[in-house]
Chain A
Amino acid sequence: MKKPEKNPLEWIVFALGLALVLSTVGYLIYDAATLGDAPPTIEVRAGAPVRRPHNFIIPVSVINHGDRTAEGVEIEVVLKSGGEELERGEFTVPFLPRRATREGWVAFRTDPLTAERVEARVAGYEEP
């Protein structure tokens, strides 16, 4: 086989390309080897309420601890006092990839600080 004719620039690009391709392939192999099969396991974390001019909003983090992606994740946050529901806020996360975190806000007319409890939960989701 004849020796490939390349100038230094081409060798540099080749070296960088090889490094990129090998690390990508390496990562995919590593990921495939370590990936489990746990269904979406979703944690919902409500933050501290914030007062805005027209309403009150609560930041919500949605975290998928599972090994599969969840689609159409419905999040609902309920303000409760004495076992009674004061107000309810909802939003939907279109896609929640495995190990990913998405942020959202729920809005209320009632001041969440007047409620005894703030319950945040995931209502449901589908497998893409």
Chain B
Amino acid sequence: MSPTVQSLQEYARGIAGGLLFSLPLLYTMEVWWAGFTTHPLRLLGYVLVTFTLLLGYNFYAGLRHDASFAEVAIDSVEEMGLGLLIAAIMLLLLGRVTSDMPVSEIVGKIVIEAMTVAIGVSVGTAQLGGADDGGSGEGGGDGASDAGRRGGKKAQTRAGKGRDEINFGGQVVIAICGAVLFAANVAPTEEIVMLGAEISSWKITGLAGASIALAALILFYSDFVGARELCPTGSFSGILIGATITYAIALVSSALILWFFGRFDGTAMITCVAQTVVLGLAATLGASAGRLILQSR
């Protein structure tokens, strides 16, 4: 297969992944509104954070495991560009962007939608390929490592190579990607605000406990995809530490997303915490199950 066809297949997978992961956001009106109520500096921050996440994901779990930093950066720019393009086309088709709108409104809506699309593109390119298509698009990548990686055997996949032994930092980056991908789907909705305002303190505590239990269950007790190599069952304290770190990542991610969507503006401290914990359950799923799925090959 020619390299061009391989690249085209990669882009097609990227488009599929981008739409798969961000479709709920493209169809959520609170996200369109956030596009024009959010200050451009905050949008800029969102773009920079997303780009950092893309770099991290492509570096640790991307398609090309032996990629240099330049290649990772190039891929990330491509994915962000694709994300912007897909978001623009979808918003145009859905009638959420029209020619009589001010530029700031159009750009705001596209940017806010495009960032999750871009992460979806990255995940789609790396994860949605068939195991035996050889479509790694690695150009002149060496065949042996290619075959090993494509063999579907994770043990083989992770063997040997430096970066394939994904270290703690890499796990944190991928966990954040997972948390953002999952939590972003519900974060902008009014429901989180309502839940945060109405929930009782005991129920918040219960939700937090349930989230940590869920993380422990997924990471250590359910024989989840990839869990065996990434989270070997150890002592009870090890499990507790693993679940707690996962939950901490989930909480930080959900707080960041909520702040970005302006949910903390003029809100009492306790309501902010309540919203973060409510969203934290979704983010925990992303940081545990999502993290394992995002690097399952």
Residues of A within 8 A of B (CB): 1-2, 4-10, 13-14, 16-21, 24-25, 27-29, 31-32, 35, 69, 95, 97-101, 128
Contacts and interface: CB of A to CB of B under 8 A. Distances in A.
B7 A10 contact: yes
B294 interface: no
Contact of B78 (A1, A10, A69, A95): A10
Given A16-B81, A20-B85, 6 more contacts: A6-B74, A14-B78, A24-B111, A28-B107, A98-B104, A128-B37
A88 B74 CA distance: 60
7 contacts: A1-B70, A7-B139, A21-B84, A25-B44, A27-B103, A32-B41, A98-B104
B70 A18 contact: no
B91 interface: no
Give the 3 A-B CB pairs with smallest separation, nearest first. A17-B81, A5-B139, A97-B36
B80 A21 contact: yes
Interface in B130-168: 138-141
- The A interface is mostly helix, strand or loop, or mixed, namely helix
Given A1-B68, A7-B139, A128-B37, A99 B82 contact: no
Nearest to A97: B36
B58 to A, nearest CB: 13
B39 interface: yes
Contacts of A28: 40-41, 43-44, 47, 107, 111
A13 B36 contact: no
- The B interface is mostly helix, strand or loop, or mixed, namely helix
A4 B71 contact: yes
B27 interface: no
A4 B74 contact: yes
A18 B191 CA distance: 36
Contacts of B36: 69, 95, 97-98, 100
Interface of B: 3-4, 7-8, 11, 33, 36-37, 39-41, 43-44, 47, 68-71, 74, 77-82, 84-85, 100-105, 107, 110-111, 138-141
B77 A17 contact: yes
A4 B72 CA distance: 9
B160 to A, nearest CB: 19
Contacts of B33: 95, 128
A21 B77 contact: yes
Contact of B47 (A14, A17, A25, A97): A25
A59 B33 CA distance: 25
A66 to B, nearest CB: 12
A65 B80 CA distance: 32
A14 B70 CA distance: 12
Contacts of B82: 13, 17
Nearest to B104: A31
B111 A21 contact: no
A4 B70 contact: yes
A113 B292 CA distance: 70
B91 to A, nearest CB: 14
